[in-house]
Amino acid sequence: MGLIDALKSMTSSESPDPGITTGGNERRSLLRKTSSVGLGGAAAAGNSDFLPRGPTAQGTKPMKKAMSVSGSSEHPYTGGKYGTVNHRHKYINDEDVLSTGASAGHSYPRWDFDGEILAEVRARRIFNHIEQRKMGLNLGLEGYKGPLNVLLLFVPLGIWAGVAKWNPAVVFIFNFLGCIPLATILGRATEDVADNSTETIGGLLNATFGNAVELILSVAALRSGKLDVVRNTLVGSILSNLLLVLGSSLLFGGFYYREQHILPQIVEANCLALTTAAIGFVLPPLFALTLRESKVDQHKAIIEKFSFVSSVILLTVYVLYLVFQLKTHSDDFDDTSTGGDGDGDGDGDGDGDGDGDGDGDGDEEMQQQSQQDALEEDDKPTLKVALSIMVIDVLLVAASSEFLVDSLEGFSFSCGLSEAFVAVVLLPFIGNAVEHVSAVIVAMKNRMDLSVGIALGSSVQIAIFASPFMVLLSWLVVPSGAPKLTLDMSTFDTVSIVVAVCMASFTLRDATTNWLEGAVLVLMYCLVAAGFYFKP
């Protein structure tokens, strides 16, 4: 009689075990009968179904995928002895293989597993872990991809050109183009680090590193002793944000909406800070003029001390501004607006008059923005990745800025431009290019609170943080006896800042905007830029 016939005859007289609740009772009853004589023949025939699945009646989970059993061990159901078995069960998962036995809650003893199988499982786990980390990293880096990344090619070229001492014009152009995508990446990395931090720390990071590129450029110019370049770069950043960025936002937003609204609280807080900054920039030149007219001895040292005191006061105002923005009145600065009350500003009703009701559009845009924000939450990298990107980016910007500043004079001479024009108009474009585009895009979506906040917020950071910070830093960086950075600017620089602050404040006085106001601001920037172009 063959083995299979013998097994069938044994099984015919047995009833299913009532303790086994899962399917396949006949096979398990058969297994119990054959366990006393061994399973070597069945194993040799490849009948892997004879292997046990575990005592599911006691609440343990069935085993899955691949397992290897070898040697003689006690049968989990009948207490019988296995023969020489070397099977691979196809229903054991990785966790079962590494945690089989009493330690995993099973009632049967620990089995001996093939070392090759365990090594394979561990290798698979390591591979899966690496793949998950790679997938998470790629997902987190999605936000750093963009068309401007093509310009990253100029980062190593610019640094190499500076080291090799190529033509100053080539060095300037290469490093100028390379700094633009670096500024974009640095801004995104700062936001990611802030998102992975507490609300207060995140706000401070955005407030401090929002204009990091301008600070790095200014530090490079300060170390080179080019104090006029430092002043002109800071002045150019203020003028660019107040006139060009803000004006472009109002202009392009006005093409889509007849009239747009802004929260009055945002306008009042930012305009107050800018007015304070304007006063801080006006008083030092007037004070210096008074000293020169009085022919006071050592008037330069007195001006330096007065600028130091003025800078401390401006920084104090900035700290109070941050407390107001991040703590006491943080709700007024939250990005929850979709462009005011939506009382008829949209022109998407198709009648061409631009007077349609905007209530539904506002709600729909708010829902779309909420969905977009929820999707972007999954695309943010971890804190370590964001910090690593941030540190590497700062180092690259610092290296490029050194060569950029050193080649500025040669570039100006080659192109027939004054250093003042290059520092006021071209250098601020590096840090403001991304903010400019972002402000215009959100303005076209009728999110004017955010758009105006970008333009005015950057101006406030430069005026009452970056500028006084550079003055105080000069006392530490500049060698003793050498002239230090002061707020004693030229008359044209001072008047330009005052005009820009007055124009921006007057435009936003009623918390409503239109395309005409934006066009006027842009034209005013062109007028100021023309003045610096012809300035000797």
In this prediction, residues 258-262 reach a mean pLDDT of 89
Could you tell me the pLDDT band of residue 465, with boundaries at 50, 70 and 90? very high
Amino acid of residue 368:
Q
Reported as a single tens digit per residue, the pLDDT across 509-527 is: 888 999 999 999 999 999 9
Distance separating alpha carbons of residues 307 and 487, to the nearest angstrom: 6
Query: What average pLDDT does this structure show over 455-466?
Result: 89
* C-alpha to C-alpha distance for 439 and 432, rounded to whole angstroms: 10
Q: Which domains does the chain have, with CATH numbers?
A: 3-113 (no CATH), 146-534 (1.20.1420.30)
User: Under a CB-based contact definition with an 8 Å cutoff, are residues 377 and 142 in contact?
Assistant: no
Its pTM stands at: 0.67
Instruction: Please give the pLDDT value at position 424.
Output: 92
Q: Which residues contact 178 (CB under 8 A, 6 or more apart)?
A: 151, 152, 153, 154, 155, 157, 158, 159, 396, 400
Choice among 32-36, 284-288, 291-295, 406-410 with the minimum mean pLDDT: 32-36
What is the pLDDT at residue 188? 81
pLDDT value for 388: 85
Question: In this model, does residue 407 exceed pLDDT 70?
Answer: yes
Q: Is the pLDDT of residue 230 over 70?
A: yes
Reply yes or no on whether the pLDDT at 23 is more than 50: no
Closest listed residue to residue 459, CA positions, set 261, 241, 303: 241
Paired tokens of 476: 């530490």
Q: Given this model, what pLDDT does residue 137 score?
A: 59
Check residues 424 and 101 and name the one with the higher pLDDT: 424
Count of CB atoms within 10 A of residue 149's CB?
12
Mean pLDDT confidence for 54-58: 43
Summarize the confidence of residues 236-251 as an average pLDDT. 93
Q: What is the 3-state secondary structure (H, E, C) of 81-116?
A: ECCCCCEEEEEECHHHHHCCCHHHCCCCCCCCCCHH
pLDDT band at 328 (very low <50, low <70, confident <90, very high): confident
For residues 93 and 64, is the Cβ–Cβ distance under 8 A? yes
Residue-wise pLDDT tens digits, 142-165: 666 777 788 889 999 999 999 998
Q: Which residue has the higher pLDDT, 28 or 155?
A: 155
Residue 480 CA, chain-centre distance (Å), reads 40
Average pLDDT, the chain: 74
Res 145: pLDDT: 73
